[in-house]
Amino acid sequence: MDAAATQQTEPVTPPEAVTEGADREVVDLCSKLIRFDTSNYGNGKSNGEREATEYVAGLLDEVGIESTLVESEKGRTSLVADWAPEGVDTSLPPLMVHGHLDVVPAQAEDWQVDPFAGEIRDGCVWGRGAVDMKDFDAMVLSVVRARVRAGRAPRRPVKLVFTADEEAGGDLGAFFLINQHRDLVAGCSEAIGEVGGFSLTIRDDLRLYVVQTAEKGMAWLNLIADGTAGHGSMRNDDNAVTELAAAVARIGAYEWPYRITSAQQAFLDAVSEALGVELSTDDVEETLARLGSISRMVGATMANSANPTMLQAGYKHNVIPGQATAAIDGRTVPGGQQEFLDTITELIGDKVRYEFAVNKPAIETEFSGALVEAMQTCLVAEDPGARAVPYLMSGGTDAKAWDRLGTRCFGFAPLKLPADLDFVGMFHGVDERVPTDSLEFGARVLDRFLQQA
């Protein structure tokens, strides 16, 4: 028997243990959540978060779960609810189940459908947030409501958290909660949330379900070059634009060395075993391309990265400005921030300096323990070809906030996906959609998970 087969353990939970109706509402709820235009434009500007949060609070209230709504600014609303009905093991610390209700903006003219209509077409729910992340929000609500109605408590207390502002870094959502309302969210030993738990088809009898155990840090930098202002017709050896442009070019051209973290190595080992090939850093990205669009995400986690994204200088053709600025989107692997900053300092030179716009270090936890075992068991119960594997995500989530509470964070929003669906490309993409049967699968897995976690 090969190693992959040994991972496919017999499910502990019998089939009848799935709560009746756990997946009944999930498609409808996902569609309705998408109809709330909760576009987050950054810089404190957002739509509809209050209305969407009140809708979620109403759904929980219908089944007797009381919510606390907190606003960081007018309309920027987050929700926390404690679910610990009779029958839970109160000796265990709560499990946090979290999702965000904001989405990135969408330009309707680019889409085949209205991005905020929640249309169900061709076996999918379409719309902004279908993947990121109103699909998981709907799974959570469907499962919780079904379990309450059936009188089936989770194994341990659950803290339900729905946040604002995740798409702009979470300062007005998750970070506001931990800074201003820590008592509402503290005490959870573990958490599950977005960008993990979805399948990658290797062959008909083997799907890797990637569980996020780590995510890169955000080191967004402002580069600043100071020079001598003057007339555009004169020679100027202290031109801020020239110095800044040279620094930006060096950063953009720099090839960051591979830094393979434990989560990344575990993922690469699983892929190597599943594909029956040896992976080395010389050909790893070419091999990963066989997995489809996730190869872009995984490739971005092989090393630190820094991409110039904005430039600003001057106000008139014939005036040399005294200052020029640039924005750098820096992402750091766990343990790699100091190397990143040292390299940036070397690349920008003596005449350019940097300031942090955002500094949120990478996070990482081990892919081990009872919670991980429950993930594997529950996936196999619904998909005998499932194998859970860890991975490092290139982006960021609210987990960066919960990590500061000492909470172990996992990305586990389970979805069994069609092999040909460009799922990763759906994140912030045009024509974002999620298959309805994937949503129903995810609800059933999550229902089992809450029984065992």
SS3 of the chain: CCHHHHHCCCCCCCHHHCCCCCCCCHHHHHHHHHCCCCEEEECCEECCHHHHHHHHHHHHHHCCCCEEEEECCCCCEEEEEEECCCCCCCCCCCEEEEEECCECCCCHHHCCCCCCCCCEECCEEECCCCCCCHHHHHHHHHHHHHHHHHCCCCCCCEEEEEECCHHHCCCCCHHHHHHHCHHHHCCCCEEEECCCCEEEEEECCEEEEEEEEEECEEEEEEEEEECCCEECCCCCCCCHHHHHHHHHHHHHHCCCCCCCCHHHHHHHHHHHHHHCCCCCCCCHHHHHHHHCCHHHHHHCCCCCEEEEEEEEECCCCCEECCEEEEEEEEEECCCCHHHHHHHHHHHHCCCEEEEEEEEECCEECCCCCHHHHHHHHHHHHHCCCEEEEEEEECCCCCHHHHHCCCCEEEECCCECCCCCCCCHHHCCCCCCEEEHHHHHHHHHHHHHHHHHC
276 band by pLDDT with thresholds 50, 70 and 90: confident
Query: Which one is predicted more confidently, 207 or 17?
Result: 207
Same domain, 27 and 125: yes
pLDDT at residue 270, rounded to an integer: 85
How big is the CA angle at 118 (ends 114 and 119), to the nearest 5 degrees? 75
Residues 232 and 191 in one domain: no
Q: Which residue has the tokens 């190597």?
A: 272
By the 10 Å C-beta count (0-12 exposed, 13-18 middle, 19+ buried), 91 is classed as: exposed
User: What count of residues does the chain have?
Assistant: 453
- Residue 208 covered by a domain: no
131/31 same-domain check: yes
In a domain, 243, yes or no: yes
pLDDT for residue 13 is more than 60: no
Domain end, chosen from 335, 359, 383, is at 359
Residue 164 reports pLDDT greater than 70: yes
Based on the fold, state whether residues 249 and 352 are members of the same structural domain: yes
Cβ pair 240, 324 in contact under 8 A: yes
Q: Within this chain, do residues 40 and 187 fall inside the same structural domain, yes or no?
A: yes
What pLDDT shows up at residue 23? 97
Same domain? For 423 and 309 the reply is no
The CATH number of the domain holding residue 351 is: 3.30.70.360
Percentage, residues of the chain above pLDDT 90: 81
List of residues 6+ apart from 315 with CB closer than 8 A:
321
Q: Which residue has the higher pLDDT, 288 or 226?
A: 226
Q: Is residue 245 part of a domain?
A: yes
Q: List strands edge to edge, sheet with 124-126.
A: 120-121, 124-126, 433-435
Predicted pLDDT at 291? 67
- Specify the amino acid at residue 412: F
Given pLDDT bands bounded at 50, 70 and 90, which one contains residue 428? Answer: confident
Give pLDDT, residue 8.
42
Structure tokens at 202: 């290797």
Domain match, 28 and 158 both:
yes
Task: Give the CATH number for residue 68.
Answer: 3.40.630.10
CA within 13 Å, CB half, 277: 12
> Are residues 181 and 98 part of one domain?
yes
Say if residue 127 is in the same domain as residue 246: no
Same structural domain, 353 and 427: no
Q: Is residue 86 predicted with pLDDT exceeding 70? A: yes
Q: What is the mean pLDDT of residues 73-101?
A: 97
Q: Which of 59, 97, 180 is nearest to 371 (CA)?
A: 97
Residue 2, pLDDT > 70, answer no
| Average of per-residue pLDDT across 204-221 | 95
The overall average pLDDT reported for the chain is: 92
In a domain, 269, yes or no: no
Task: Provide mean pLDDT across the span 110-135.
Answer: 97
How far is C-alpha 282 from the geometric centre of its chain's CA atoms? 28
Residue-wise pLDDT tens digits, 50-85 = 999 999 999 999 999 999 999 999 999 999 999 999
Enclosing domain of residue 236 = 218-257+305-359
Residue 25 pLDDT greater than 80, yes or no: yes
Choose the weakest-confidence range: 268-272, 327-331, 429-433: 268-272
User: What's the pLDDT tens digit per position in 256-273?
Assistant: 999 988 888 888 888 888
Q: How large is the angle between the packed helices 436-452 and 26-34, nearest 10 degrees? A: 110
Residue 281: pLDDT band with limits 50, 70, 90 = low
Same domain, yes or no, for 244 and 320? yes
Domain count, the chain: 2
> Pick from 100, 18, 113: which is nearest to 440 by CA?
18
Across 161-165, average pLDDT: 98
Which residues fall within 8 angstroms of residue 75, CB to CB, at 6 or more apart?
Answer: 46, 49, 50
pLDDT at 188 over 70: yes
Identify whether 310 is part of a domain: yes
**Is the pLDDT score of 9 beyond 70?**
no
Lowest mean pLDDT across 1-5, 31-35, 206-210:
1-5
Rounded CA-CA distance 402/189 in Å is 10
Decide if pLDDT at 279 tops 80. Answer: no
Residue 170 lies in a domain: yes
Cβ-proximal residues to 185 (8 Å cutoff; 6+ apart), any chain: 80, 96, 159, 161, 177, 178, 402, 405
Domain assignment present for 292: no
In a domain, 285, yes or no: no
Does residue 35 surpass a pLDDT of 50? yes
Query: Domain check: are 65 and 174 in the same one?
Result: yes
Cis amide leading into 139 (omega within 30): no
- Confidence at residue 11, expressed as pLDDT on a 0 to 100 scale: 41
Q: How confident is the model at residue 427, as a pLDDT?
A: 84
What are the Cα distances from residue 443, in Å, to 14, 310, 385, 417? 16, 41, 18, 14
Average pLDDT value for residue range 127-147: 97
